[in-house]
Amino acid sequence: MTVRRSLVQCMVVAVALLSGAAATVGAQHMLVPMDDIQANHLKAYGLAFTALKTGTKTEWFLNYRGGAFLLPEDPALRRKAALDGITVESMSDATLAGIRKEIAAGNMDAVALEKAPRIAIYSPPKSPPWDDAVTLALKYAGIEFTQIWDDEVLKSDLTKFDWIHLHHEDFTGQMNKLYLGFRDTPWFIEQRDRDMATAQRNGLANVPAVKKAVAGKLRDFVEKGGFLFAMCGATETIELAMGAQNVDIAGPYSDGTPMDADADSKMDWIHTFAFQNVHLEMSPGVNAMSDIDGHQVNVPARRQPLGQFTLFNFSAKFDPVATMLLQDHRKVIPDYYGVTTSFAKAVLKPGVTILATEDGAPWVKYIHGDYGKGSWTYLGGHDPEDPQHNIGAAPTDLALHPNSPGYRLILNNVLFPAAKKKPLKT
């Protein structure tokens, strides 16, 4: 049965390759549609990335057919599309000219993608690949990245990267308060010892000091022109770490003794990206960090039910950055939990761009903003295709979700740094 299935798969690929070769006759361009016609949305991003890596001119048609990509007719790219099951349409110059007129007349835009972004994922050693949605997305799409951790952030030149994603790390240094239930488990002890060794190597007092220093370096990365993306608990805790440079908000790392009782008043929100006037969770017995998260998933008495969130509709010509981050074939997406699921409106800084929200809710799901010469984007929740994110759940298999609209939001961020910057019209 396995041999027969393999033969059938080979025949399917062969037919696709032959069909692709035939389709190139008389065509000058390849359109990669990103609407419901597309068979594999996620791998389509990998195709665009591959084109950029080889120096191939690429365009992103914002709001046209779900955010389609335009590539020149190329045998190697067509073969890759066929092997990856990506829908590609052949196109002549005349047909493309008609599409450009349509784009010019509507709420659409054509953005040139210039080069493949240099990508890093801030992720701990031994972290399983399924423990982070961005890692899953990049590996499935075939997009290259470098893994970095505390030592690399503290000692390396981060300007060699264009885009850094933060694994769902607790930047307060409390390991998400997991000492409440896991302080005696071997894996917790191993992580604690690893982090304490990092502190000693870098001449820092303790683990919270390491994470504060790392948060500061990442802030500098953005200020100098880098792009930072975070999901889940990293969105909340990096803000707390940046705001707490001069105050202890973790208490003694080993036992979770309550933090400085005046920590709220000592926080400095000037150098944070997204939040201000946040109330810190003082009790070591409550598994929450602050009131940033609207859903409070790990506090049963506060936990809010999941709904669905709606992507905003921006003007592609006047707000190209926000539009890029929102390219999708769905506008309403089912919500999903994470250590930090959502962001309370009450603590958002003025000027933060809200990209997605839940109707009638006091929280938002997806936000973006500029800082210095760079920018940051936060997406709440842990895994768009694992709504409950229960401990011990099976890893998400993206081969079962090739058209995931939630994962598309992640991959929009990956290509965003590749876009040629246009003068703002507002």
Summarised one tens digit per residue, pLDDT across range 106-134 is 999 999 999 999 999 999 988 776 689 99
Q: Provide the domain count of the chain.
A: 2
- Domain residue limits at 16: 2-113
d(CA 109, CA 18): 33
Give start and end residues of each alpha helix (H) in 54-116: 75-84, 93-105
End-to-end CA distance of the chain: 61
Among 113, 141, 176, residue at a domain's last position: 113
pLDDT digits (tens, 9 = 90+) for 208-265: 999 999 999 999 999 999 999 999 999 999 999 999 988 888 866 545 566 777 888 8
CB neighbours of 244 closer than 8 A, spacing ≥ 6? Answer: 172, 212, 263, 266, 267, 268
Among 87, 113, 139, residue at a domain's last position: 113
| 112 bridge partner residues | 59
Nearest to 414 by CA among 117, 153, 81, 19: 117
Mean pLDDT of 49-58: 96
Same-domain check for residues 323 and 199: yes
Local structure of residue 377 (DSSP, 8 states)? E
d(CA 398, CA 400): 5
Same-domain check for residues 95 and 211: no
Same-domain check for residues 74 and 151: no
Mean pLDDT of 302-328: 97
Least confident piece of the model among 44-53, 98-107, 328-337, 386-395:
386-395
Residue type at 13 in one-letter notation: V
Residue 39 lies in a domain: yes
Same-domain check for residues 125 and 72: no
Residue 230 lies in a domain: yes
Same-domain check for residues 171 and 221: yes
Residue in this structure with the two tokens 């396995």, named with its chain if needed: 2
d(CA 131, CA 176): 15
Q: Hey, what's the torsion of the CAs at 169, 170, 175, 181, to 10 degrees?
A: -100
Phi/psi for 267 (5° steps) reads -70, 145
d(CA 154, CA 163): 17
CATH number of domain containing 323: 3.40.50.880
Residue 297 has pLDDT above 50, yes or no: yes
The whole model's pTM is what? 0.92
Same-domain check for residues 95 and 239: no
Residue 393's Cα: distance from chain center in Å? 21
Same-domain check for residues 268 and 282: yes
Give start and end residues of each alpha helix (H) in 85-206: 93-105, 133-141, 150-155, 179-182, 186-201
Same-domain check for residues 202 and 75: no
Residue 424 lies in a domain: no
Average pLDDT, the chain: 90
Query: What distances in angstroms separate CA 392 from CA 71, 192, 251, 386, 395, one per listed residue?
Result: 41, 21, 29, 12, 9
d(CA 130, CA 108): 35
Same-domain check for residues 71 and 210: no
Residue 280 has pLDDT above 70, yes or no: yes
Same-domain check for residues 36 and 142: no
CA atoms within 13 A on the CB side of 99: 22
Same-domain check for residues 286 and 409: yes
Q: What is the pLDDT of residue 422?
A: 55
Nearest to 64 by CA among 88, 33, 36: 33
d(CA 426, CA 406): 29
Same-domain check for residues 144 and 272: yes
Residue 57 lies in a domain: yes
Residue 426 lies in a domain: no
Cβ-based neighbour number of residue 143 at 10 Å: 22
Q: What is the pLDDT of residue 226?
A: 97
Among 113, 130, 150, residue at a domain's last position: 113
- Burial (CB count within 10 angstroms: exposed 0-12, middle 13-18, buried 19+), residue 421: exposed
Residue 371's Cα: distance from chain center in Å? 17
d(CA 180, CA 39): 45
